[in-house]
Amino acid sequence: MAAYTKTESRVWAREKLIGAVNCTIPSFTADLLNLNEKGVRHDIALAKEHGFIGSLAIGEVSISLDEYIEFVRISKDEAGDDFFICHHACFNTLEENIEMAQRAEAAGADLILLTYPPSFYPETEDEVFEYTKAFADATDLAIILFPMTIWNFSRLHPSDISTRLTRRILDAAPNVAVIKTEGGYPNIMNAVECHRLFGDEVVISVPIEGDLIPLSQVIPIQLSATSDHEYFGPLIPRIMQLIRDGKHDEATELYWRLHPARVAKNGLFPAVHGGSVLNRMGWKFQGWLQGYNGGPLRMPTMRLQDKQMKGYRAALIEAGFDIPDEPFKNFFLGRNPA
């Protein structure tokens, strides 16, 4: 059960969600028949060691509903009380997402990232509002509202979820406690607009580190959730602490140090935000380079080519990371094969 009531969601988020939240992709056994508990625990433990305050339990992979809940349970058991597990509300229908949110809460999830099903095709903002409110009404957990190009809502408003609609959602759903500002990507206007209009009510998260680091030097940003920050090892939590300490020159120096890796990450999969899928295999490989488990994913999954893997690794080395020269085959085995 959550450590707060539904009406306390926004206060809890303001007090507790200070730092960066990365992503954890499930690990599986070599035969892909079961979850790899050691691999999952390895990833949560390393995220804590790297200074993250929590992790999103990714559900957008080939995983059964029961397996996903077990993934959340294992993650929270390893996380303990001082590290937050974010449930990924990414399933097939509103009804299924409500069911899974309730099950995830019982399994220990601390908050929820709300996404919208691929088959959800609203023709008005009212339909987005009704979906979001129905979901929020059905859970007591704090919710991260997520304007994002992938939902195909830009035909309703260029920012994907307009501030007019956001206002309605915040008034109707007291447990919407965070806005993950990627609306109208790639630009910073969604973050700036949400900070200006809603920053006194809810936590504004900037997940894209290339926007986060400069923006947080001119407007207060306490949270970066959720993103594949694990590609940068411990540096995003460290940079956010530098900014909180007012050490902007040091944060800026690290921003430029990361630039080769930033360019590689954005360039190797250019369709990530303009298309309809995220390459979770690519994200898992990013983490493996920094010591996370890696390991196989079930079909259907996007693939990785040597050119992409070499590019990811070379960019981290150019950015000053000490990345071991391991055979790429080891990624597909994982650091905790089972």
The CATH number of whichever domain residue 82 belongs to comes to 3.20.20.70
The answer to whether residue 71 sits within a structural domain is yes
- Burial annotation 148-163 (CB, 10 A radius, 16+ → b, else e): bbbbebbebbebbbbb
The answer to whether residue 270 sits within a structural domain is no
Structural domain that includes position 78: 6-246
* 8-state DSSP, 24: E
Task: Decide: helix, strand or coil at residue 82.
Answer: coil
Q: What are phi and psi of 199, to 5 degrees?
A: -60, -25
Amino acid 81: pLDDT:
96
How much is the pTM?
0.97
Task: Decide: helix, strand or coil at residue 55.
Answer: strand
The answer to whether residue 51 sits within a structural domain is yes
CA-nearest of 293, 237, 279, 338 to 75 is 293
Amino acid 272: pLDDT:
44
The answer to whether residue 269 sits within a structural domain is no
The answer to whether residue 33 sits within a structural domain is yes
pLDDT along the chain (338 residues), means of 10: 94 98 98 98 99 98 98 98 98 98 98 98 98 98 97 97 98 98 95 98 97 97 98 98 98 98 82 62 97 98 94 98 97 98
- Structure tokens, 28: 């599986």
Separation CA 57–CA 245 (nearest Å):
30
The answer to whether residue 234 sits within a structural domain is yes
Count how many domains the chain has: 1
The answer to whether residue 147 sits within a structural domain is yes
Amino acid sitting at position 121: Y
